[in-house]
Amino acid sequence: MGHEFIGQLAKNMKNVEYDRVIYNSKNYIGNRNHVWQIDNKKYTPEDVAEKILSVAKANVERFYGERVDGAVITVPASFNHDQIESTKNAAKSAGFLEDRLIFISEPTAALLDLIYEEKLSDKRNTIHDFSKPKKVLVFDLGGGTCDVSIMNVEINGDDYKVEELAISPHTQLGGVDFDICGVLYLLHKYSILNDIDHKRMPHHVDVKRYIFSVLSLEIEKARIMFSSLSSGLTGEGYGDVVYRNSLENFYTGQSFEFEISKKEYDECIKPLLTKGGNLGFNIIDPIIDTLNKANLGKEDIDEVFLVGGMTAYSTVREAIENFFGKKTISYLDPMYSVAKGAALYNYYNENKKKIEKGKIIIYPVVAENIYLDVKNNLPVLLVSQGTKAPYEKVHEGIVKVDNATGIKLDILSGKSIYDPKMKRLKSVQLTFTDIIKPGTPISIKVTFDKNRILHLEAWVTGNFKQRIDVTFDKEVLYDGC
């Protein structure tokens, strides 16, 4: 068994130890059914998060020469309470103290960085004026997720107020999907050059793992080259940029010499950038969904702010600009603005404790409607999307006892009770210590804390002292899509 490497070191090993590298673990956090196995050792997404946070903690402690026990952790805006709670558990296991953990959404953090940079710059050089309230849509396209948030931003003197208005559903679409489109295209090319159908190549999983890993690295390199060489060359008539390489011992001892141009690659990724098509997912759908949730049209958005590594690619940026019919903001480093925003939030949060002036107030919202599946009837809406956290509400007599010792209920999330994509998030077990007569109504109190984590309390309606044990089922039902 070898050493474990985190971060850039692990990324560098994608080529040589392709079957021992864990990709996109953040996409699966909150799902305990997803387990990677390397050398008979099992890793859950929470284990991976713990290792990443441990390394980050150790690096900061080494740099400052002092112990660090608190953190501002950014998560995708669309993370549900299970995903946030799982991230919190990972942070606790990494040695952070629970009461010193703050979770803010990634788009909000990036926006804080933007506002701060604008404020720092000389008034004459300010490009985007935030002195009046503005509606900003933050589009965050990272390695594995596509996150859209609409926020109302207001700056009052030294105080920043960021109110989240609507958040997109959790959308698993990111750089890795753009890579695979290119990989499949290169495999088609290989089939033609070698007169062999790549779909009929021997299906040994290790060979496929090697082929997909090396080709996805090549596509990533090509995209970086396209980004750096084609900047400024836009419009129909511009010349093409071509990436060429040769892979020794690619398949059955033979090499694969190939080329891919930017125009070819852009054609490959078109289904991911265009509404409709046969993929069933693209970057435009979550934007439309979030605008609908906020009851806004695209013309109501004052600024569109791009975040995440994939938005640095010009074709992605152009697709968003074409949709909105206006220029986007993307002049900051999209890779680091989230981390800088988190640091700023911490600075202002600490400042708030000392002096009155100069604070950041964030109003986070619940991303999706949350329902309680009351048996033999329609699911009951517990919390509607857009509800600001922290939040609490008592639902009197929401469910009736049908079994004398306990009830198992499901928590669902979706756009409406008719949503065909409604997901079951988790099961809740209500356990009665004393037998309760069937037909007795039960009241439930729902709480979303400031970190958007869901808590439930239950009691017999009309008798607050007759409390009922509430346990969330360990069996995780969230399917991570």
Give the residues lining the site for other proteins (CB under 8 A): 14, 18-23, 28, 31, 33-38, 176-177, 180-181, 183-185, 188-189, 192-193, 205, 208-209, 211-213, 216, 257, 259, 261, 264, 267-268, 270-271, 278-281, 373, 376-379, 412, 417-418, 420-424, 477-480
For 392-417, b/e burial (b = at least 16 CB within 10 A) is eeebeebbbbeeeeebebbbbbbbee
Considering the complex, state which of residue 95 and residue 309 has its C-beta at the smaller distance from other proteins: 309
CB of 457 to other proteins, least distance (A): 25
Distance CA 111, CA 329 (A): 11
Burial class (CB in 10 A: 0-12, 13-18, 19+), 86: buried
Q: Rounded to the nearest whole angstrom, what is the least distance from the CB of residue 385 to other proteins in the complex?
A: 17
- What values do phi and psi take at 107, rounded to 5? -60, -35
Query: Which is closer to other proteins, CB of 175 or CB of 341?
Result: 175
Are 107 and 77 in contact by the 8 Å Cβ rule? The answer is yes
Closest CA to 418 of 388, 381, 376: 381
Q: Supply the minimum distance, in Å, between the C-beta of residue 427 and other proteins.
A: 12
DSSP 238: P
Q: Which residues contact 127 (CB under 8 A, 6 or more apart)?
A: 118, 329, 331
Cα separation of 70 and 57, whole Å? 9
Q: What is the dihedral of CA 91, 97, 100, 106, to 10 degrees?
A: 0
C-beta closer to other proteins: residue 112 or 211: 211
Smallest gap from Cβ 463 to other proteins, in A, equals 27
Instruction: State which residue, 303 or 368, has the beta carbon closest to other proteins.
Output: 368
> For residues 68 and 477, which CB has a smaller minimum distance to other proteins in the complex?
477
Q: How far is the CB of 186 from other proteins (least distance, A)?
A: 11
The set of residues, in sequence order, having a beta carbon less than 8 Å from that of 38 and lying 6+ positions away, is 20, 22
369-373 sheet: strands from edge to edge: 380-383, 369-373, 406-414, 423-431, 463-472, 454-460, 441-448, 391-400
Nearer to other proteins, 160 or 243 (CB): 243
CB of 66 to other proteins, least distance (A): 35
Nearest distance in Å: CB 260, other proteins: 9
- Return the number of the residue (205 or 355) whose C-beta is nearest other proteins: 205
Smallest CA-to-CA distance from 268 within 139, 177, 174 is with 177
Residue 309 and residue 332: Cα distance in Å, rounded? 11
In angstroms, give the least distance from the CB of 282 to other proteins.
11
Sign of the alpha-carbon dihedral angle for 100, 104, 106, 108: negative
Answer for the pair 103, 84: CB distance below 8 angstroms, yes or no. Answer: yes
| Minimal distance, residue 263 CB to other proteins, in Å | 9
Q: Which residues contact 221 (CB under 8 A, 6 or more apart)?
A: 243, 245
213 vs 451, beta carbon nearer other proteins:
213
Of 17 and 117, nearer to other proteins (C-beta) is 17
Residue closer to other proteins by CB (options 226, 348) is: 226
To other proteins, the closest distance from the beta carbon of 381 in angstroms equals: 12
478: helix, strand or coil:
coil
Q: Which is nearer to other proteins, 100 or 221 (CB)?
A: 221
Instruction: Please return the burial class of 381, using the count of CB atoms within 10 Å of its CB with bins 0-12, 13-18 and 19+.
Output: middle
Q: Taking the alpha carbons of 430, 432, 437, 441 in that order, is the dihedral positive or negative?
A: negative
Q: Which residue, 343 or 481, has its beta carbon nearer to other proteins?
A: 481
Give the burial class of 53: count Cβ atoms within 10 A of its Cβ; 0-12 exposed, 13-18 middle, 19 or more buried. Answer: buried
Tell me the closest approach of the beta carbon of residue 154 to other proteins, in angstroms: 39
CB 137 → other proteins: shortest distance, Å?
26
Q: How many CB atoms sit inside 10 A of residue 389's CB? A: 21
